[in-house]
Structure 1
Amino acid sequence: MAGPVKRSVMIAGHATSVSLEPVFWEALKRAAEEDALPISALVARIDAARVADDAPANLASAIRVWLMERLLDR
């Protein structure tokens, strides 16, 4: 298994770095395509839900959890 890959993503006009394993980057890309969104817009949506939580996780963790919940909801 490959280790995390750091990529820059624009959220609300600001670049932020996110480190995810390649399998999660691929899943995020597919989810964005299925929802007809750019990856940055999907990450912004996940981030907005994350920061609304009482004890927000870091962004990479929130993305992983969001992807797993999406998979389990199918």
Structure 2
Amino acid sequence: METPSPYHPPVKRSLSIAGHATSISLEPLFWDMLKAAAAREGLAVAALVARIDAERIKAPTPPGLASAIRVWLVVNGPPAQSVAG
């Protein structure tokens, strides 16, 4: 089976955050990272997104939710592997 390209347009999914339905558009790569992060944290994806949302709204200039999720994943994801060169 061929690995899908990471260059894929965003995919919109609906989640319930704090009792409100919301749609979030993320590239499939970020959806996969979000699912893995939620599993590591022992949370449902919606619960992790709610936590990220609560953190983001405390920022002096809160970014959009999709942007906050991407930043959170980069900051809190597994460490990047170094490439020997």
TM-score of Structure 1 vs Structure 2, range by shorter chain: over 0.9
Take 2:17 and 2:58, find their aligned partners in 1: how far apart are those partners?
15
State the Cα RMSD in Å.
1.0
**What residue is the counterpart of 1:15 in the other structure?**
21
**What residue is the counterpart of 2:49 in the other structure?**
43
- Deviation string, structure 1 residues 17-56 (Cα, Å, up to 9, x no partner): 1000000000000000111100000000000000011100
| 1:2 Cα deviation after fit | 0.8
Following superposition, which runs of at least 4 residues in structure 1 exceed 6 angstroms of deviation?
A: none
TM normalised by structure 2 equals 0.82
Highest Rg: 1 or 2? 2
Counting matched residue pairs gives 73
Take 1:36 and 1:65, find their aligned partners in 2: how far apart are those partners?
20
**What residue is the counterpart of 2:82 in the other structure?**
none
2:12 matched to 1:6? yes
Take 1:71 and 1:11, find their aligned partners in 2: how far apart are those partners?
22
Take 2:10 and 2:46, find their aligned partners in 1: how far apart are those partners?
18
Structure 1 unaligned spans of 5+: none
Take 1:69 and 1:3, find their aligned partners in 2: how far apart are those partners?
22
Take 1:12 and 1:49, find their aligned partners in 2: how far apart are those partners?
13
